[in-house]
């Protein structure tokens, strides 16, 4: 999505907002105890958690998502892509070291095992 926004220079046609309602069950009804609203484009991209096991979802609790980003949506998109790419390389390196290299000795040409 960020790449499409940058390629098309379309930064004012999209907003991604989240609502969270804290409910409490009291007897036979739900009581709204608190409500939260945040804009994804006001969060600090570098602080977003990418859950690789859950289809690369960005995950957070709405009530805890900072709203401190002061740049433009274009700047946000570029910062997020920078963060995303860095996380891809970090994750890839981890996966190679943990789940590929230990087993390479078993499949190398000329291995007698």
Q: Could you tell me the pTM of the whole model?
A: 0.83
For residues 63-97, one letter each, b for 16 or more C-beta atoms within 10 angstroms of the residue's C-beta and e for the rest, the string is eebeeebeeebeebbbbbeebbeebeeeeeeeeee
Residues lower than pLDDT 50 in the chain = none
d(CA 47, CA 37): 18
Q: pLDDT per residue over 44-63, tens digit each?
A: 999 999 999 999 999 999 99
Q: 53 in helix, strand or coil?
A: helix
pLDDT confidence of residue 111: 60
d(CA 93, CA 100): 10
d(CA 3, CA 16): 16
């Amino acid at each position: 999505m960020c790449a499409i926004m940058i390629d098309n220079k379309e930064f004012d046609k999209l907003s991604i907002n989240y609502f969270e309602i804290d409910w409490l069950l009291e007897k036979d009804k739900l009581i709204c105890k608190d409500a939260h609203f945040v804009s994804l484009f006001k969060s600090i991209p570098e602080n977003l958690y990418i859950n690789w096991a859950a289809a690369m979802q960005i995950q957070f609790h709405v009530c805890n998502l900072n709203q401190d980003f002061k740049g433009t949506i274009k700047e946000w998109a570029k910062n997020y892509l920078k963060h995303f790419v860095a996380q891809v390389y970090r994750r890839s390196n981890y996966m190679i070291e943990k789940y590929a290299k230990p087993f390479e000795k078993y499949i190398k040409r000329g291995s007698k095992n």
